[in-house]
Amino acid sequence: MTRSTFGKGFATGALLSASLLASGQVLAEAPWSISANIGAVSNYVWRGVTQTGDQAAVQGGLDVSHESGFYAGTWVSNIDWGSGGPTYELDLYTGFGGNITDDLSYDISGIYYAYPDGRDSDFAELGGSMSWKWFTLGAAYTVYGENDGGLFDDGDWYFYGGAEFALPYDLGFSVRGGYYDFRHDKEYVPTLSGTGTVYLKSESYDYWNYGASITKDAGEWGTFSLNWDQNSGESDLGYDNDPKFWVGWLKEF
């Protein structure tokens, strides 16, 4: 399902955007550092839903961080929601994170998803997460949305969790899952009964998503990944809940 189905677009994963902040070659002296990234994917999938109609995307970002734990950055990708929807996404984010103990860390962030050539599509989230060793749990709350009274308006929640593990030969394995709880989540869909009577069936836009990735660190050549994502959304509401298998490449500077 694309955001044009809702009259409002989907955006990039905050999880991905946040993960890009952690590494990259330092381009400025302490206490400040600057990093950049560029990547390509065969399918841009965000929270279990394709943003490019199962087509490829080129993506990149720029981040600045301070040794105190403060960070800010921007990230951009082409998108395709069909039906004349926006053609690119621009994210602006900032946050603060750090370690409580050697194994326990936290992150508090805000992100604005902008679609400069899309109508009534922008929205903003505040979020927080806690990580213990390999595991992360977090939530994001929509504080602003241009799609008044629809999905991605203020009041939406997204809950997520994941785990990352290092494997031999510079391989990595991760799993992820999440649940979208929309404030305006109901739709009445005309449905044909067994007797031929048409009635209105109440469907919810809320859905689960889940996925996994295998990554390979190729040094100066960047990081390559093989990924799977899927969602549990109702097909009557326009969700494409078929499994999505895609490959990606990411290079950090």
Domain locations along the chain: 3-252
pLDDT beneath 70: ranges in the chain: 1-29, 187-202
Q: pTM score, two decimals?
A: 0.85
CATH class of 3-252: mainly beta
Task: Tell which residue, 6, 89, 83, has the closest CA to residue 46.
Answer: 89
Q: How many CB atoms lie within 10 A of CB 182?
A: 20
Burial 201-220 (b: 16+ CB within 10 A, else e): eebebbbebbbbbebeeeee
Could you tell me how many helices (H) and strands (E) the chain has, helices first? 2, 16
Looking at residue 15, what is its pLDDT? 39
Looking at residue 96, what is its pLDDT? 98
Looking at residue 140, what is its pLDDT? 98
Looking at residue 85, what is its pLDDT? 78
Distance CA 225, CA 176 (A): 15
- Token pair 């990547």 is found at 39
